[in-house]
Amino acid sequence: MGTWERGGDTDRLHFHGILYIPEGKMAGKLVQKREYDVKKKRMVEYTENTFFQDRFGRNTFDVIDGTALTLGTAVGYIVKYMEKTGGRMICSKGLRTFIETDIDNADIVAKLREEDDKKYVLFDDFKVYKDGKELGKVSPSVLEKAKTVN
């Protein structure tokens, strides 16, 4: 999932995203970089992906473990940029943005916004309900029966 943003100083369009990359399936290689940051006026270190560097230029990759997702910090990172620019979340696999369903608390990663008790970011194997009845774990066939909204 992710969102686009334009840089405040440069108006440069860039993407903030959370990606699930299975073990051994990373395109390119992760390499450590060190360079002088003019804004911070100091040397900075970051991890860059060679595949994205070759195609799009400078990039930064950080590993997110299950703890970060459970605490909502990774999701908060994306939501912060969405709210800053009024952008929309982009999800993969042709999913519409929101699914209207009852929610099992164990399936919640984080609230989409802290003050909103109706929109959540869920783990990718969440259970879908319709009219109080469990339809099963999310899948294309289950989503055909569920109510999706934008």
Q: What does the pLDDT look like over 99-134, one tens digit per residue?
A: 778 888 888 877 766 666 677 777 778 888 888 889
- Residue 90: its pLDDT value, please? 54
- Residue 98: its pLDDT value, please? 66
Phi, psi of 131 (to 5 degrees): 55, 40
Phi, psi of 105 (to 5 degrees): -55, -30
Cβ atoms of residues 127 and 104 within 8 Å:
yes
- Residue 69: its pLDDT value, please? 62
Global model pTM greater than 0.85: no
- Residue 88: its pLDDT value, please? 60
Strand 127-130 and strand 30-37: pairing?
unpaired
Q: What percentage of the chain exceeds 90 in pLDDT?
A: 19
pLDDT, tens digit (0-9, with 9 covering 90-100), for 65-85: 666 665 566 667 767 766 676
Mean pLDDT to the nearest integer, 11-28? 83
Report the candidate in 21, 63, 28 with the shortest Cα–Cα distance to residue 49. Answer: 28
- Residue 28: its pLDDT value, please? 92
Report the candidate in 64, 62, 68 with the shortest Cα–Cα distance to residue 48. Answer: 62
Rg (CA), the chain: 18
The two structure tokens encoding residue 18: 């959370």
Tell me how many degrees the CA angle 101-102-103 measures, rounded to the nearest 5. Answer: 110
Which residue carries 């369903």 as its tokens?
A: 101
- Cα-based torsion angle of the residue sequence 133, 20, 16, 73 in order, rounded to the nearest 10 degrees: 70
**Residue 47 confidence class, pLDDT cut points 50, 70, 90:** very high
29-38: buried (b, 16+ CB within 10 Å) or exposed (e) per residue?
eeeeeeeeee
* Cβ atoms within 10 Å of 106's Cβ, excluding its own: 9
The two structure tokens encoding residue 131: 């009219």
